[in-house]
Structures are given as structure tokens and as C-alpha cells.
């Protein structure tokens, strides 16, 4: 009986301290004037819990020919009571750099 109780408490403790959840990133980058998709935009995602950067979860990649950047990442939130923010940065030669916070889905417009 003691083994069963210990196992239950161990399992619950493990689940609380190692909680991970999926975070979905799905943006389409378009030219603000023409509304046409922009390929090869460098998209950087910087993850912060409160003011502390969680560099293990930072990721980057390029948009495809349809202007899409799609990623599905497991993020380990654990017992963190801090707010987690996702800083999305967009860079492409000929366009102004753009940064947004917590807009991890939808359409992003870049200006010349």
C-alpha cells in the first residue's frame, strides 16, 4: 500500500514539475501594400517568462513561397507563475524590421 501511495505522489509531483504544452506558431507574412505573400522572411521567436529569456525555446526559420511560417513546439511551463511572452521578429532586406508580442497566429504585414 505504501508503494502505491508513494508511486501516486511521485507521478503527480513529476507531472507538476515537468509540464509541457504545445505552442503553435502559424503566421503568413504579406506585403502591406500589395497583400502578396513574402517568401524568405527570417522569423525569430524569442520566449520569455516574465523578464527572463528562455533561450532553450527560442527558434527561427524562414517563410515559404506562400509567406507561411509554421512551427509546433513543446514548451515546458513547469510551475512557473510568470507570464510567458512570445516575441515575434520579422526581417527581410527591402522591408522594415517588425516585432510583435504574442501574435503567434494570423497575418503579418511588412512595409517597405
Give the residue extent of every domain in the chain: 21-110
Average pLDDT over residues 29-53: 94
Distance CA 89, CA 42 (A): 8
- Kindly report the pTM of this predicted structure: 0.79
Q: Give residue-wise pLDDT tens across range 7-38.
A: 554 444 444 444 667 889 999 999 999 999 99
- Yes or no: say if 88 and 27 are a contact pair by the CB < 8 Å rule: yes
Q: Give residue-wise pLDDT tens across range 56-78.
A: 788 999 999 999 999 998 877 66
> Domain 21-110 - what CATH class?
mainly beta
Distance CA 56, CA 9 (A): 29
Query: C-alpha 106: how far from its chain's center?
Result: 13
Show the beta-strand stretches assigned E in the chain: 20-31, 42-49, 52-53, 59-62, 68-76, 84-91, 98-101, 105-110
What pLDDT score does 11 carry? 47
Amino acid at each position: 500500500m505504501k508503494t502505491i501511495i508513494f508511486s501516486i505522489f511521485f507521478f503527480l509531483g513529476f507531472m507538476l514539475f515537468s509540464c509541457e504544452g504545445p505552442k503553435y506558431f502559424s503566421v503568413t507574412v504579406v506585403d502591406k501594400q500589395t497583400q502578396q505573400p513574402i517568401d524568405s522572411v527570417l522569423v525569430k521567436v524569442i520566449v520569455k517568462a516574465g523578464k527572463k529569456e528562455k533561450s532553450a525555446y527560442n527558434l527561427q526559420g524562414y517563410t515559404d513561397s506562400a509567406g507561411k511560417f509554421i512551427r509546433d513546439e513543446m514548451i515546458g511551463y513547469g510551475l512557473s507563475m510568470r507570464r510567458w511572452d512570445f516575441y515575434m521578429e520579422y526581417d527581410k532586406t527591402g522591408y522594415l524590421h517588425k516585432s510583435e508580442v504574442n501574435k503567434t497566429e494570423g497575418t503579418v504585414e511588412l512595409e517597405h
